[in-house]
Homo-oligomer: A and B are copies of this chain.
Amino acid sequence: MADAVTYVIGIDLGGTKVRIAVVSLQGGLVQAETWPTLGEQGPEAVLGTIRNGVQQLLRQAGAGGDAVRGAGLGAPGPLDIHRGTVSVLPNLPGWQGFPLRDRVAGVLGMPVALGNDGNAGALGEHRFGAGRGTQDMVYVTLGTGVGGGIIAGGRLLVGAVGAAGEIGHMVLDPQGPPCSCGRRGCLEAYAAGSGLQRRATLAAQSGRPTMMSEIAATADGAITPHVIQQAARQGDALAQEVLAEAATYLGWGLVSLVHCFNPELVVFGGGLLALRDDMIEPAIALAREQVFEQHRQGLRFAYAGLGEDAGVLGAAALALDAFCGR
């Protein structure tokens, strides 16, 4: 029996898509596929998608159910690891308080580990990606929002209800710009896609000359991070200021994180890695300069190594962590 156990399942549950993978204990992607989440059809429909998807992928992998040790389920946003509930689709009927973890475990006939996608990403990078071999690592995802996860002493910092690592809502200025969470001056309000877009749109409305609106008009009109980047690279002063402000606040956010966690490595992931040279590298430079000498010793910064499969590999890492020792 023991040598039949060779896989875990990774389930990356998002608001629009669910990606599922069969993953080896060494983090090898054996089979993977993406389906629409169809959350508006209710949780039972999503359960069906997950069950059928896992069965199909295991068939393709030529593996029986007894070859699988368990599944990891990564989801964005607040979740409750004790109750096993997620709020991926909080405004849709049937989802509030739905015991997703236990129901997925039921339909798959295997144990399921639940985790926030930022925490799953941290585990994935720590096990298989840029963080291999480190003991103390901070993972920062820069996308529409800012998320993260912390590895402390080789273990994921989970927190009391599984909500640790919500680093996008560290407050960098209580009087700062509004954040999507309702507070002001969160890291996310400056350095996430949503925050950048809000800051740039406001700046463009200020009357100062900028080509951002013009560039945006060639697409759907929205001043996206990509638009800001294009304008800045063409010398647009306002776009450059928006990115510089984002870099500065991201830099100070890194200072705070490094002082709290004293990591040896900070890993950046997420959709905004395209702003590497425009925002992230200047932020790293600021942080390197500003942290205590102690904390600077041996401190490294790196970019996520798992690419587009970070989600499923992170989810698989949740299962490895929970069901396959360490």
Question: Could you list which residues of chain A lie within 8 angstroms of chain B, going by C-beta atoms?
Answer: 78-80, 135-136, 150, 152-153, 155, 157-167, 169-175, 181, 183, 185, 248-249, 252-253, 255-257, 259-264, 290, 292-295, 297-299
Contact = CB atoms under 8 A, between A and B. Distances in A.
A155 B248 CA distance: 33
A174 B294 contact: no
A82 B68 CA distance: 41
Contact of A292 (B78, B172, B252): B78
Copies in the complex: 2
B173 A172 contact: yes
A322 to B, nearest CB: 13
Chain A at the B interface: SS class = loop
Nearest to A249: B174
A162 B150 CA distance: 16
Contact of A262 (B135, B160, B255): B160
Contact of A160 (B136, B175, B255, B290): B136
Given A153-B155, A249-B174, A298 B136 contact: no
A214 B116 CA distance: 55
Contact of A152 (B78, B152, B290, B292): B152
Contact of A170 (B181, B249, B259): B259
B292 A159 contact: no
23 contacts: A78-B292, A79-B294, A136-B159, A150-B260, A158-B262, A159-B261, A161-B262, A161-B295, A163-B294, A163-B295, A164-B262, A166-B260, A166-B295, A169-B256, A171-B252, A171-B255, A172-B172, A172-B173, A172-B174, A173-B175, A174-B248, A174-B252, A257-B260
